[in-house]
Amino acid sequence: FGLMTYDPGYTNTSSCISRVTYIDGEKGILEYRGYPIEQLAEKSSFMEVAYLLLNGELPKKDELSGWEEEIHHHTVVHENIKRQMESFRYDAHPMGMIISTVAALSTFYPEAKNVRCAENRRLQIKRLIAKVPTIAAFTFRHSQGHPYVYPNNKLSYTENFLTMMFRMVGNDYEPNPAIVKALDVLFTLHADHEQNCSASVMRAIGSSEADPYSAWAGAAAALYGPLHGGANEAVLRMLNEIGDVSKVPEYMKKCKNGELRLMGFGHRVYKNYDPRARIIKKCADDVFEVTGRNPLLDVALELERIALEDEYFVKRKLYPNVDFYSGLIYQAIGLPVTMFPVLFAIPRTIGWLAQWAESLEDKEQRIQRPRQVFLGERERDYVAMDQR
């Protein structure tokens, strides 16, 4: 192909220089701004991690409270956004709803187009982080036919989200602290993952200097696919379909002969156990103590046990990824499977925005415009309709 590099799926192409997230796939290492994911999951909060990813350093106490206050300031959405959402079908997929609604936010903030202004970028970043959970909760309420619950800015980011999801008229729903902690850890684990498909889309759309709401919608659309963030939904559907531990070997056979993919397994970069999956497994135990054990956990554990010993999976270095166990937790919390990719999109907003800002600050970045290897017909003369 001449001097041009042909690299389908960009397995060997670095599209940018980044200082946000580091992965060593062979060793199973994930770090945000140099801090190991295990330490952040154990000791930090999601809002603290968001600050870290966006600013490069952990916040001091007053910086964190100031940051949380700024996010609170933007949690409400315009009433017309709510009205627009009411027009979706009752069974609309929450990802379809959130993608189009966040895209619509760009029409409410036309100044967001001024992406070259750092101050303006910071304002839009805060708006997006604050409004995405509100819209996410509205998608759930819509699917349930329940009135939307407005944000309560006295609550933490995660508590607020759970309350907007589950509070009912006439009750004083207060999320269980163990569930709040587990969801906060899950948000932390999903916050960024360097140049994955959706982050690459965010950067690509951002490179044409489109506004961040439109870029977010494009990134979320990429996330929605079952090979990326939609895998958590696909895993639960798969576990339901298998239904019982006794059916696992038969299902595995289909995965090995290429009929099916074992959802929640494999990763482009991790050729070792995904460190996030290990933390999520522990997190599941904490949640099940409150909610009761999800019976599908046995099916998942059996799939993992067989896969870790089976030559097909061992040879290809296929291990459970972040999506393998997360759905079991979401289900135990009381969420329908269609909400699972939304639960991924909320925290990944941080990574998309951190990388979007980084790429706009990078003087070497240009509009993303890959080349192709052309193998089609050339130099043909037009053939009149009656002669074809």
Q: Which residues of this protein are in contact with ligand CMC, per CB under 6 A?
A: 9, 196, 227-229, 231, 255, 261-268, 316, 318, 321-323
Q: Which of 192, 211, 274, 323 is catalytic?
A: 323
Q: Which is nearer to ligand CMC, 59 or 226 (CB)?
A: 226
Shortest Å distance, C-beta 323 to ligand CMC? 5
Annotated catalytic residue: which of 93, 190, 228, 267? 267
Could you tell me the CA-to-CA distances from 24 to 44, 193, 273, 343 in Å, in that order?
22, 11, 11, 25
In the chain, what are the helix, strand and coil shares in percent, each to the nearest 5? 60, 5, 35
Strand-pairing partners, residue 314, are none
d(CA 109, CA 305): 50
Shortest distance, position 340 Cβ to ligand CMC, whole Å: 11
Helix (H) or strand (E) holding 129: helix 118-144
> Cβ distance 194 to 23 under 8 Å?
yes
Based on C-alpha coordinates, what's the Rg of the chain?
Answer: 22
C-beta of 262 vs 346, nearer to ligand CMC: 262
Residue number closest to ligand CMC, CB atom = 266
Nearer to ligand CMC, 19 or 316 (CB): 316
| Token pair for 171 | 């009750």
| Least distance between ligand CMC and beta carbon 194 (Å) | 11
CB of 327 to ligand CMC, least distance (A): 11
When the beta carbons of 236 and 360 are compared against ligand CMC, the nearer one is 236
Active-site annotation holds for 72: no
Among candidate residues 57, 59, 52, 281, the one with its CA nearest the CA of residue 186: 281
For strands 35-36 and 29-32, give the pairing: antiparallel
For 21, what's the count of Cα atoms within 13 Å in the CB-facing half-sphere?
Answer: 27
The nearest distance, CB 236 to ligand CMC, in angstroms, is 12
**Contact between 75 and 130 (Cβ < 8 Å):** yes
The CB-of-265 to ligand CMC minimum distance in angstroms stands at 4
Please identify, using beta-carbon distances, which residue of 142 and 267 lies nearer to ligand CMC: 267
308 in Cβ contact with 251 (< 8 Å): no
Helix (H) or strand (E) holding 36: strand 35-36
Which three-class secondary structure state does DSSP give residue 381?
A: coil
Contact 185, 279 (CB under 8 A): yes
Tell me, yes or no, if 323 is annotated catalytic: yes
Task: Give whichever of 265 and 340 is closer to ligand CMC, judged by the CB atom.
Answer: 265
Q: Which pair of tokens denotes residue 44?
A: 């930090």
Residues catalogued as catalytic? 267, 323
